[in-house]
Amino acid sequence: MLTFSLFSGFSGWFQSPRYWRRILTGLIIGFCLVFSTGLFQQSTVAQINLAIIQEILDGDQVFIQDNQAKVEDQAEFGQIVLTKKSRAGVIFNNGAAGRMDANSVVTVGQCVEIKQGQILVSGPINGCIAGFTVGVQGTIYILETTDNNTGNVKVLEGTVQVSSSDGTGEPVEVKEGEKVSVLQGILSQVIPMTPEEIVSILSGRLFSGFTIPVTPEGALYSLCSRLLPGFSCSTSGIPTPSIPTPPVPVPIPRLPF
């Protein structure tokens, strides 16, 4: 009789609406936790071990190691992608994208390591430049380097943390519209980019002529509008100076004398 009473009590509890609400709430919370954890893991920057050539502009002078490359050729871990007079668009194995200017040298590895020239990077991929690592957070940024271990990190969207590759010193945060220079192994002060510099980038060689997008639709327009409020921005993010509308002259009433 006692067993029957206990069973009846549990049976009634199972059938209660409150019980099923608790079960449903627990399942939803569990799903959300698993889903959010998955998103976090997907957003973690993974090591890159493959770069695929997507576009070649201005001739055919793009090389992987010493071999002339064509569209869909692949550079594997540790290999070098080199442009001479040509420009190139690449996509990495984790879905991030890059655009290389002419006379640029990039190594595929733990990061996008630029040895020479200029590269635009979009997506979850760290950069390396002149002894520093650039850690990203949903970012569009540019790495450019010159001779004698000097260069610049320019952020168009998101935030990066620039830190010494040997782990010394505090990381430096660079936000959208800002840049930091590397001078002989020393980071300079983070400063805002001028409107003229941003215009030069968005209408320059890392954007003009490419047909395969490196950002979601509308992202460049939004970026242009945020960074250049005094400009008109096309849907592809190309800025032009806004021409103020001249005021309409108001006629001066003539006095009757």
Rg (CA), the chain: 27
Amino acid at 175: K
Same-domain check for residues 69 and 187:
yes
Same-domain check for residues 138 and 220:
no
d(CA 158, CA 138): 6
Same-domain check for residues 120 and 177:
yes
33 in a domain, yes or no?
no
d(CA 89, CA 211): 9
Same-domain check for residues 110 and 209:
no
Q: What is the pLDDT along the chain (257 residues), one digit of tens a residue?
A: 434 443 344 345 445 554 444 444 343 333 333 333 333 333 345 578 899 999 999 999 999 999 999 999 999 999 999 999 999 999 999 889 999 999 999 999 889 999 999 999 999 899 999 889 999 877 899 999 977 778 999 999 999 999 998 888 889 999 999 999 998 788 999 999 999 999 999 999 999 999 999 998 899 999 999 999 989 999 889 999 876 555 656 666 665 65
DSSP 33-102: HHHHHHHHHHHSPPPP-EEEEEEEESSS-EEETTEE--TT-EEETT-EEEESSSEEEEEETTS-EEEEPS
Pairing of strands 127-129, 112-122: parallel
CATH number at residue 129: 2.60.120.1440
Q: How many CB atoms lie within 10 A of CB 197?
A: 14
Residues with Cβ within 8 Å of residue 161, at least 6 apart in sequence: 134, 135, 171, 172, 173, 174
Same-domain check for residues 146 and 215:
no
Same-domain check for residues 58 and 87:
yes
31 in a domain, yes or no?
no
Same-domain check for residues 95 and 218:
no
92 in a domain, yes or no?
yes
Same-domain check for residues 163 and 63:
yes
Same-domain check for residues 206 and 173:
no
43 in a domain, yes or no?
no
7 in a domain, yes or no?
no
Q: Please give the residue range of the domain that contains residue 233.
A: 198-239
Same-domain check for residues 105 and 91:
yes
d(CA 242, CA 230): 6
Per the structure, the count of domains in the chain is 2
Task: Please state the separation of Cα 160 from the chain's center in Å.
Answer: 9
Same-domain check for residues 211 and 175:
no
Q: % helix / strand / coil in the chain, to the nearest 5?
A: 25, 40, 40
